[in-house]
Chains A and B, each alone.
Chain A
Amino acid sequence: MISIDKVSKWYGDFQVLTDCTTQVQKGEVVVVCGPSGSGKSTLIKCINALEPFQKGDIAVDGVSLANPKTDLPKLRARVGMVFQHFELFPHLSIIDNLTIAPVKVLGRDKTEAVAKGHQLLERVGLKDHASKHPGQLSGGQQQRVAIARALAMDPIVMLFDEPTSALDPEMVNEVLDVMVQLAQEGMTMMCVTHEMGFARKVASRVIFMDQGKIIEDCAKESFFGDTTARSERAQQFLAKILQH
């Protein structure tokens, strides 16, 4: 579904990503973790071309991003993305947040889009909030709306960039529950997160990044099972976050 091939990226002289290579198969849930500044957000933003990269290639469902002829907005319309800070549109009601892209980008019928929006809100447990504005919802509720907004486009894959790290602890689970349910329904997902409980539950693979490189890329069982086989950096990192 996603194939990342020797991707390198620079900000000026600073190399953020170095030769990153990995694949995500259809139906897989891949968790990406690593210390702050290691390039996780950058890598995931490269996948839907929100960030350009200078070397290598990424193909999403066979469509190459390095190819200058690729219609990037069209590709992004098929890839769902959930951000750390939700990024709901504050000037629109919740239901309008869910329908604006399906109607304006995909050209769907407004009434159908609204019906589907309500369905999705019900699915994330927020059906009574359709006419509110984002500012009236808690962080956890906003993030669930953001997930529903991405799902409204019927994406072929969902990308998450630390979806729970801006939330108060008591709201983390309501968002993770939605994500777990999504994973169990077979959605292809790539998630930057430090929620190792989530990784343990639904991940197929775990990727560990450090200083712009993919250091570990292995099945969940071996990542959490035999930690002595992991690199030193990964062991240190795991020791730190698993303490919590």
Chain B
Amino acid sequence: MDFSPIPNELPAMWEGMQLTLKMTVLGVLGGVLFGTLLALLRLSHNRLLAGIATGYVNIFRSIPLLLVIIWFYLAVPFVLRWITGADTPVGAFASCLTAFIMFEAAFFCEIVRAGIQSIPRGQVSAAQALGMSYGQSMRLVILPQAFRKMTPLLLQQSIILFQDTSLVYSVGLMDFLNTARSRGDNIGQPHEFLIFAGLVYFLISFAASRLVKHLQKRLAV
């Protein structure tokens, strides 16, 4: 084992890590936003809308993420051409991000839905009794409380996404893992680089998860 070439390659791997982090953060933001919308649809009294959202969640929870990524990579340019009638180049980054958002939304939806349902019904009544519309009572009263309760779960899910972003290697994106792997191959020391990458994933995920546990305790009191 010879780990000495690694320091030289750190700048390149940092580039990759930036892509990983960007993908994670944007994926979480988009996923939470879209997931919240799905949760509101699932909880709505409109059977059709609730049914569509439920179907969506069930589908995306039943297919592998890798498949969604590849599928979007192939399908997004095709769909765009069909809509705009012209070749609209989208990078692998955009198609991967779309795939993550669509996929993660199904999971965030369930977390948000459970969060909303955990808020006592009396809170909705109180908000409505003050003249708030459905939208206002959600935005001002229910969701702020629900998100506070859900924060640990949302962060836990974000840590999983942080690791899952490594699947972008399948469409050739140079994220942290893919960069480490290709550098290791080039230099001829693939094992050392993969061990190093694993260590980095572990340290970041483990530290984040400890942080979440700590937060959970603080939110509980």
Contact = CB atoms under 8 A, between A and B. Distances in A.
B128 A73 contact: yes
B136 interface: yes
B6 interface: no
Nearest to A149: B130
Interface string A130-155: 00000000000000000001100100
Closest 4 CB pairs between A and B?
A77-B131, A87-B126, A101-B130, A81-B129
Contacts of B127: 89
A91 B128 CA distance: 17
A76 interface: yes
A73 B126 contact: no
Contacts of A105: 130-132, 136
Nearest to A45: B125
B92 to A, nearest CB: 41
A50 B128 contact: yes
B145 interface: yes
B118 interface: no
A74 interface: yes
Contact of B122 (A78, A79, A85, A106): A85
A2 B19 CA distance: 63
Interface residues of A, number: 26
7 contacts: A76-B130, A88-B126, A89-B127, A90-B145, A100-B140, A101-B132, A149-B130
A69 interface: no
B170 interface: no
Contacts of A45: 125
Interface string B123-154: 10111111111001000110011001000000
Contacts of A85: 120, 122
Given A91-B145, A104-B140, A83 B126 contact: yes
B: contact size bracket: 10 to 19
Which of A76, A85, A87, A105 has most chain B Cβ within 10 Å? A87
A79 B129 contact: yes
A154 to B, nearest CB: 11
A188 interface: no
A87 to B, nearest CB: 4
Given A83-B122, A91-B148, A153 B131 contact: yes
B123 A87 contact: yes
A89 B123 CA distance: 7
Given A73-B131, A85-B120, A89-B126, 9 more contacts: A76-B130, A87-B126, A88-B126, A89-B141, A89-B145, A100-B140, A104-B132, A105-B131, A153-B130
A121 B129 CA distance: 20
A150 B125 CA distance: 13
Contacts of A193: none
Interface string B95-131: 0000000000000000000000000101101111111
A76 B131 contact: yes
A90 B120 CA distance: 11
Given A83-B122, A104-B136, A105-B136, A91 B144 contact: yes
A90 B219 CA distance: 13
Nearest to A80: B129
Nearest to A146: B126
A81 B136 CA distance: 18
A84 B131 CA distance: 19
A8 interface: no
A104 B135 CA distance: 12
Contacts of B144: 91
Contacts of B141: 89
Contacts of A89: 123, 126-127, 141, 145
A164 interface: no
A189 to B, nearest CB: 15
Contacts of A87: 120, 122-123, 125-126
Contacts of A101: 130-132
